[in-house]
Amino acid sequence: MKKVVVTGASSGIGKAITQRLLFLGYAVIGVSRTISYDAFTHTHFQALQTDLSQAQPTQELCEILKKEDIYMLVNAAGFGKFEPHEELNAATITSMTFLNLTAPMLLTNALLRSLKQNSGYLININSIEAIRASKFAGVYSATKAGLKAFSDALFEETRKSALSITNINPDMTESGFYDDLRFDVSKKEDEKLLASDIADAVEHILKMRKGAVVSDYTIRSLKFGISKKTKT
């Protein structure tokens, strides 16, 4: 059975992808700060609780995963804080950069030989912010643009292997991502994405002929919408 690592597996997009991969017959190692073995009632699920916004636990996780035979890595963990840049504190900037960009690069570094040997997949769950500029999103956009640039460069670097590398760039997706933010996705079905839409994209990528790669997969809602939260 092919083994997959999914970060951010406890909620949102990462959880939806984990559920889909288990359904498709993969064994999944789910990584997040809060994940537990009972997060998924499946015999082929394994939980590894790690804070990927911090260097030491991330490096320890890399050493553990180096011992595994991994077919696919899905980097889905991430967070954003959208404020005027001068309002962000150093801890937020540092942890956002590490979780969104540094951790995926470290995990890829640890698993790349295994991924290449298995003719596997590297899928980075990026953001629409990787390919556009939005106010109050300077750090978040920089981390996502950096992740896209990393993926694009690695795609060129590994083309002699049979490794498939894809950036998925979702627009606003209904999930816990917005729990601590001042805004949320629209309530209208055609003005938001669902986490299952991103899982659909992953399944599509895996079911394509191996000789073809969608290197950049951007998903938008049909219409634009946003919901501002009422102050309490």
Query: Which amino acid, one-letter code, is at 217?
Result: Y
DSSP state of 229: P
Q: What is the CATH number of the domain that holds 36?
A: 3.40.50.720
Calculate the average pLDDT of the chain.
Answer: 96
CB-based burial label for 38 (10 Å; 0-12, 13-18, 19+): exposed
CA distances, 68 to each of 53, 96, 110, 160 (Å): 22, 27, 10, 23
What pLDDT is stored for residue 180 in this prediction? 85
> For 16-26, what is each residue's pLDDT tens digit?
999 999 999 99
8 phi/psi in degrees, rounded to 5? 65, 30
**CA 82 – CA 230 distance, rounded (Å):** 17
Domain encompassing residue 200: 3-228
> For 123-141, what is each residue's pLDDT tens digit?
999 999 999 989 999 999 9
Number of domains in the chain: 1
Going through 54-176 in order, the beta strands assigned E by DSSP cover: 72-75, 121-125, 164-170, 173-174
CA–chain centroid gap for 100, Å, is 8
pTM: 0.95
Region for residue 42 given its phi and psi (left: phi exceeds 0; alpha: psi -120 to 50; beta: otherwise): beta
**CA 31 – CA 21 distance, rounded (Å):** 14
Whether 8 and 175 have beta carbons less than 8 Å apart is answered as no
Whether 226 and 174 have beta carbons less than 8 Å apart is answered as no
**CA 207 – CA 72 distance, rounded (Å):** 14
Q: Is the pLDDT of residue 232 over 80?
A: no
CA nearest to 78, candidates 18, 147, 164, 135: 147
Stronger pLDDT, 13 or 180, i.e. the higher one: 13
> For 52-71, what is each residue's pLDDT tens digit?
999 999 999 999 999 999 99
CA nearest to 77, candidates 137, 138, 34: 34
pLDDT range class, residue 231, cuts 50, 70, 90: low
